[in-house]
Structure 1
Amino acid sequence: MSSTTATRRHQPVRASLAAFVGTMIEWYDFYIYATAAALVFGKLFFPTTTGFYGTLASFGTFAVGFFARPLGGAVFGYIGDRIGRKKSLVVTLLMMGTVTVLIGLLPTYASIGVWAPVALVALRFIQGIAVGGEWGGAVLMASEHSPDQSRRTFLASFAQLGSPAGLILATLMFKLVSSLDNEVFLDWGWRVPFLLSAVLLAVGFAIRLSVNESPDFLDEQARREQAARNTQAKRESAPLAEVFKSAPGLLALAIGANVLGIAGFYFTNTFMLVYTTQYLHLQRGLVLNCLLVVSVMQFFITPLSAHIARKVGNHRFLVLVSALSILSPYIMFSLVDIGSLTAVTLGVGVAILFIGAYYAVIAGFVSEAFPTRIRYTGISMAYQVSGAIFGGLTPLLGTVLAEKFQGHWWPLALLFSAISLLSMLCVSRLGAQRQARAAAFKLQQEA
């Protein structure tokens, strides 16, 4: 066997590993910001607003990153669909890692006054742009290297696996530094997880460079070059313009389908950190221990769910787990209110069980809905717009509801159920459309 053939055979494995490691680093960077926003940024960057309003201001900077993500999806979607998936992913990784290190070096309000929160918001915006371009490319590089169409969703789940891995690493780092004296933690301890990103960046960059370009993209590039030789060929629209023009309904359904996988996690992993520490007055260490356990659980749920979905059908699997997710918050809050480590872990674990199963499969399911020429842009915009609207605002809305209905968790449970219901309805509609297209194609072939 030639070295070229061997390399080609190993590319699906290498692409899946690169997707996993790259998204792990990206989500590590994103989660340490989310954790710092919940625990320290209100005190260090918004000291003139305390308690409830300080938390809102801190989560406001968290939301800024989500609002920037659609811009990243558009910019890097264009690069990924027209210039190359690999080039896009290398740039997003460099951007994300550099910004995270800079946040770790940022002076606080006590040192430079109002410029501290201004700089924090600016860096968070750039971080959001990088994440906006990362997810779609990682999913496609893993799935499009698959030689077998039926394995695409399973390989795409390796990009999704980076999310719990990044959360595990972020939680471990904050658990380590939060064990420091509170004064030391607020002085320099919180910076350590951000500065570690420099090491992770070097590892991820080396792995990502070792992966070849997506075969689907190369085929599409060859098709475009062939079309360009035809003098009568029409000039192609930008991918974003084509998505809005030819597939606005598909984009809207894809946005809704992604809500549970995004907003659900920021509800359990970010807002619940605030809810349990500020409103239930649980110890920060106890809650971080809980998040660590459920993150490990999600890590194993991801490949298992992708495997089961491959057997029973992606559409059927997603509808089932989203329906169960509608019921899960009532169990979660009943257990969390008990306040013990076991009860809190079981409560959040129930919600994560269904969110994690859903998140593992939704990437491959949505990516199959878009044609290759606009796939990077289509799935990136769907995911990032969903994140901007629902992911960034969910911790804010949860905090407002917790403050307004102190002592009552049912409004928060209803919010979580609404998130799950929206995704279930959108997945059902996407599946119905796919079945209709398959039936029409079969009739056309028979004719």
Structure 2
Amino acid sequence: MTTSPRLSRATFASTVGTALEWYDFSLYGTASALVFAHVFFPSGNEFAATLASLGTFAVGFFARPIGGIIIGLLGDRVGRRQMLFVTLLLMAVSSTAIGLLPTHSSIGIWAPVILVVLRIFQGLGAGGEYAGAMLLSAEHAVDEHRGLNAAIPSLGNAIGALLATAVFFVTESALTQEQFLAWGWRIPFLLSLVLAIAAFIIRLRVSESPEFQAAGGAPRTQRIQLLEVLRRGGRRIPLAMLMSIAPNVLSYLPSVYALTYLANQVGAPAGVGLLGVIIANALKIVTVPIAGWLSDRFGGRIIMIIGSLAGAVLVFPFFVMLDTGTPVVIWAAFVLIFTLCCDMTLASQATMLSTLFEVDVRYASVTFSRELIGAIVGGSIPFVAAALTGALDGRPWLVAAYCAVLCAICAAGTWALPEQKQSPAGDGRRVTV
């Protein structure tokens, strides 16, 4: 009797590719905060230049739903594997081009204009990457390990962010400030081309999804349109959108807004919050696989509900722990929300989405529901949180209540979703239980 491996080759290839793509996406965020204001937006007003630089980061964020829908529709027609090469190409070419882009002092206003265009292409690629990687991994896995394989690609996000931070830090530390701003900042972006080649080679060794092949994909003479995807998804589409709320809240509240809160309200050194994010990301190497295994063992729905409700309750002590100003307590707060609660929701989300829709509309259905909520909820969390904190003169309780309500809505939407299992024939059909 042959025993199927817990983790497939497709899962490894998908995770490596996702890590390298999120290396590029995260690298841009770091550079937009520390470098781009000096080399692409030298307006004479440092604050205005920084805002303009960070604005280009947001452009990529809001380009993700568009890329997700386009790539998802194509992925349901020509296959997951092919589109994952497209997303990798989009990210690698964009990042390499940023590393070669002349500065404002060389070509004037065209420098920031081209930078924005390249950031849009990064966002388009990122929008279709995670869903494709998750589906390729899940659809290669046997049923008893489907949740584990679907969850692992989310680990690529954390690995990519850690790698980007490390490369940027080493490059900056090895050079003087003048050297780094003159040319050193380009090195991490140019390195993305080398990493992309490695990812291409790894992904070439992975076959197309067996479920997609068994279902035959969408007929080549038929184009699956977005309206058709929404019609066939029915109520599962809006419920899947609700299910995607908590993963965004529990990701971007600690990793983005908490850094601002620590600096402005608590007065903690910037390095304390950044180290908290690094620690929380590093621990995901352990917690993401465990959460995926739990989803296989008990079902994705119950793990998502537990993670969402835990986040709704623990967001209040999260801010209490931040307010202590004590580094160890702050780091524990990040692990509590950004690692434990967030990873339960991410892993269970991947498990459920991988079986919620018919295989020939699955890619588009997943990207539509996941990426649109990512832009709306994830993209707005820092701004809404800052406004609510200001409304209470720096106290965080409106923010905590807002996030708790969002997590509770996620739990309710997840409860209303039908439980899905694969057809015994393995043809991508859903069986509602």
TM-score range, shorter chain: 0.7 to 0.9
- The answer to whether 1:155 aligns with 2:169 is no
- The reply on whether 1:326 has 2:312 as its aligned counterpart is yes
| 2:208 paired residue number | 213
Partner of 1:231: none
- Determine if contact 2:150/2:354 at 8 Å carries over to the other structure: no
Asked if structure 2 preserves the Cα contact closer than 8 Å seen for 1:69 and 1:133, the reply is yes
CA distance 1:278–1:170, shift in 2 (3 Å): farther
Q: Is the 8 A contact 1:63 1:388 kept in 2?
A: no
Deviations 1:81-104 (A, max 9, x none): 111211111111011111122223
Query: In 2, distance between residues paired with 1:426 and 1:17?
Result: 31
Whole-Å separation in 2 of the counterparts to 1:280 and 1:162: 31
Contact 1:66–1:384 under 8 Å retained in 2: no
Query: Is residue 115 from structure 1 mapped to residue 102 from structure 2 by the alignment?
Result: no
Tell me the amino acid that sits aligned with residue 299 of structure 2: G
2:191 corresponding residue in structure 1? 196
Q: What CA distance in whole angstroms lies between the structure 1 residues aligned with 2:263 and 2:341?
A: 24
- Same amino acid, percent of matched pairs: 35
Query: Which of 11, 18, 21 is 2:16 aligned to?
Result: 21
Q: 2:32 aligns with which of 18, 34, 37?
A: 37
Q: Deviation at 1:16?
A: 0.7
Alignment CA distance shift 1:175-1:442 (3 Å):
closer
Aligned-pair CA distance for 1:56: 4.7
Structure 1 equivalent of residue 74 of structure 2: 79
C-alpha separation in 2, matches of 1:327 and 1:442? 31
Are the counterparts in 1 of residues 295 and 351 from structure 2 also a CA contact under 8 Å?
no
Quick one: structure 1 residues 277 and 54, their matched pair in 2 at CA, closer, same or farther if it must change by over 3 Å?
A: farther
Kindly indicate whether residue 325 of structure 2 is the aligned counterpart of residue 339 of structure 1: yes
Aligned equivalent of 1:232: none
Q: Which moved more, 1:205-214 or 1:239-248?
A: 239-248
- Cα offset, 1:278, TM superposition: 5.1
> Which amino acid in 2 is paired with 1:307?
W
The aligned counterpart of 1:429 is 416
* Aligned positions of 1:342-353 closer than 5 A: 342-352=328-338, 353=340
How many angstroms does 1:403 deviate by? 5.7
SS in 2 for 1:368: helix
| Structure 1 residue 422, shift from structure 2 partner | 2.9
Change over 3 Å in CA distance of 1:442–1:185 after alignment to 2: closer
1:385 is the counterpart of 2:372:
yes
Q: What corresponds to 1:106 in structure 2? A: 101
CA distance in 2, matches of 1:183, 1:82: 50
- Structure 1 stretches of 5 or more lacking a match? 229-234
Report the CA distance shift for 1:276/1:192 in structure 2 as closer, same or farther (over 3 A): farther
Superposition deviation, residue 197 in structure 1: 1.3
The offset of 1:263, in angstroms, is 4.0
- Root-mean-square deviation over aligned CA pairs: 3.1
- 1:67 equivalent to 2:53? Answer no
**Unaligned regions of 5+ residues in structure 2, if any?**
422-429
Query: Pick from 205, 230, 233: which aligns with 1:244?
Result: 230
- Which residue number corresponds to residue 254 of structure 1? 240
The answer on whether the counterparts of 1:11 and 1:212 sit within 8 Å (CA) in structure 2 is no
Equivalent pair of 1:62/1:392 in contact (CA under 8 Å): no
Q: How far off its partner does 1:175 sit?
A: 3.5
1:286 has 2:272 as partner: yes
| Structure 2 counterpart of 1:85, one-letter code | R
Asked if the contact 1:161/1:360 (under 8 Å) is kept, the reply is no
Distance 2:48 2:357 in 1: 42
**Cα distance in 2 for residues equivalent to 1:284 and 1:182:** 19
Distance 2:53 2:151 in 1: 31
**For this pair of structures, how many residues does the alignment match?**
423
Q: Which amino acid aligns with 2:206?
A: V
Q: Given residue 194 of structure 1, which amino acid in structure 2 is its aligned partner?
A: F
Give CA-to-partner distance per residue, 1:73-125, whole Å, 9 cap, x none: 22211221111211111111011111122223334445444333322221111
CA distance in 1, matches of 2:6, 2:77: 22
Report the AA paired with residue 266 of structure 1.
Y
Say which SS state the counterpart of residue 325 (structure 2) adopts: coil
Instruction: Name the CA shift for 1:388/1:145 in 2 (closer, same or farther; >3 Å).
Output: same
Shift of 1:365: 0.8
For residue 168 of structure 2, what is the aligned residue in structure 1?
Answer: 174
- Taking the aligned partners of 1:65 and 1:391, their CA distance within structure 2 comes to 13
Deviation of the 1:364 alpha carbon:
1.8
